[in-house]
Amino acid sequence: MPDTATDRLKADGRIVVVGASLAGLRGAETLREKGFKGSLTMIGDEPHEPYDRPPLSKQALLGMGSAERTALPRRRDIDAEWRLGVAASGLDMAARRVRLADGDEVPYDRLLIATGVRARPWPNQAEGELDGVFVLRTREDGAALARRLNAGPRRVLVIGAGFTGSEIASACRERGVEVTVAERADAPLVGALGGVIGAVAAELHRENGVDLRTGVMVTALEGDATGRVRAAHFSDSTSLECDVVVVSLGAQRNTEWLSGSGLGAGPRGIACDAGCRAFDIRGIVTDDIFVAGDVARSPHPLFGYQFLSLEHWGNAVSQAETAAHNMLSESTERRPHIWVPAFWSSQFGVSIKSVGVPSMGTEIMITQGSRAERRFTGVYGYQGRVIGAVTFDNSRWLQFYQQQIEATAPFPPPFPTVDRRPEGQKPLPADFPDPSLPTHGPTVTLSGYSPADRRMTFHPAGH
Partner 1 sequence: MLRLVVDLNRCQGYAQCAFLAPEVFAMHGDEGLLYDPQAQDAHRARVAQAVAACPVQAILVDELDMAATAPGAPGGAAPAAGEASDA
Partner 2 sequence: MKQGILSDILDYANRANPYPLYEELRKTPVFHDGEGPYVISTYYDIQSLLHDPRLSSEARNLAASAGDPLAEGEDEGAAALPPSFLKLDPPEHDRLRRMTNRPFGPPHSPHRIDDMREDLHGIVGNLIDNLGDPGNIDLVDQFAYPFPVTMICRLLGVPREDEPRFHVWADTLAASLDPDPGADPKERDKTTHDARMELGMYLAGLIEERRKNPGEDMLSQLAVGHGQDETMSTMELLSTAALLLIAGHETTVNLITNGMLTLLRNPDVLRQLRETPGLAVPMVEELLRFEPPVQLLPQRTPLVDIEVRGVTIPKGSSMWLVLASGNRDPNRFENPDRFDPYRKDIQHLGLGSGIHSCFGAPLARLEAQLALTELARRLENPRLIEDPPPYRQNAVLRGPRHLRITCDGVRPA
Residue numbers at the binding site for partner 2 (CB under 8 A) = 367-370, 373, 375, 377, 396-400, 403, 415-419
- Name, in order, each residue with C-beta under 8 angstroms of 428's C-beta and a sequence gap of 6 or more: 196, 363, 364, 365, 366
CB 290 within 8 Å of CB 112? yes
Considering only 64-72, 125-133, 181-189, 289-297, which stretch makes contact with partner 1 by CB under 8 A? Answer: 64-72
Q: How many CB atoms lie within 10 A of CB 204?
A: 23
Question: Distance between CA atoms of 461 and 463, rounded to whole angstroms?
Answer: 7
70 binds, among partner 1, partner 2, none (CB under 5 to 8 A by kind): partner 1
Does residue 396 interact with partner 1 by CB under 8 A?
yes
Query: x-or-dash pattern for partner 1, window 245-284, by CB under 8 A?
Result: ----------------------------------------
Q: Rounded to the nearest 10 degrees, how much is the dihedral formed by the CA atoms of 260, 263, 269, 272?
A: 180
Does residue 176 interact with partner 1 by CB under 8 A?
no
Shortest Å, Cβ 446 to partner 2? 28
Query: x-or-dash pattern for partner 1, window 70-89, by CB under 8 A?
Result: xxxxxxxx------------
462 binds, among partner 2, partner 1, none (CB under 5 to 8 A by kind): none
418 binds, among partner 1, partner 2, none (CB under 5 to 8 A by kind): partner 2
Does residue 306 interact with partner 1 by CB under 8 A?
no
**What DSSP element (H or E) covers 125?**
helix 125-128
Q: Rounded to the nearest 10 degrees, how much is the dihedral formed by the CA atoms of 105, 106, 111, 114?
A: -70
| Nearer to partner 1 among residue 37 and residue 74 (C-beta) | 74
Does residue 139 interact with partner 1 by CB under 8 A?
no
Side chain identity at 86, as an amino acid letter? V
| Nearer to partner 1 among residue 139 and residue 184 (C-beta) | 139
Question: Distance between CA atoms of 420 and 413, rounded to whole angstroms?
Answer: 12
| Nearer to partner 1 among residue 73 and residue 462 (C-beta) | 73
- Tell me the Cα Rg of the chain: 23
Does residue 388 interact with partner 1 by CB under 8 A?
no
Considering only 187-195, 262-270, 348-356, 413-421, which stretch makes contact with partner 1 by CB under 8 A? Answer: 348-356
415 binds, among partner 2, partner 1, none (CB under 5 to 8 A by kind): partner 2
| Nearer to partner 2 among residue 335 and residue 375 (C-beta) | 375
Strands 251-253 and 244-247: unpaired
Residues linked to residue 246 through DSSP beta bridges, in sequence order: 134, 158
344 binds, among partner 2, partner 1, none (CB under 5 to 8 A by kind): partner 1
Side chain identity at 119, as an amino acid letter? A
- How many Cα neighbours within 13 Å face the side chain of 77? 2
**What DSSP element (H or E) covers 62?**
helix 59-62
**Dihedral sign from CA coordinates of 192, 195, 200, 205:** positive
Enumerate binding residues for partner 1 (CB under 8 A): 52, 54-55, 58-59, 62, 64-65, 69-77, 313-314, 317, 342-344, 346, 348-351, 353, 393-396, 398
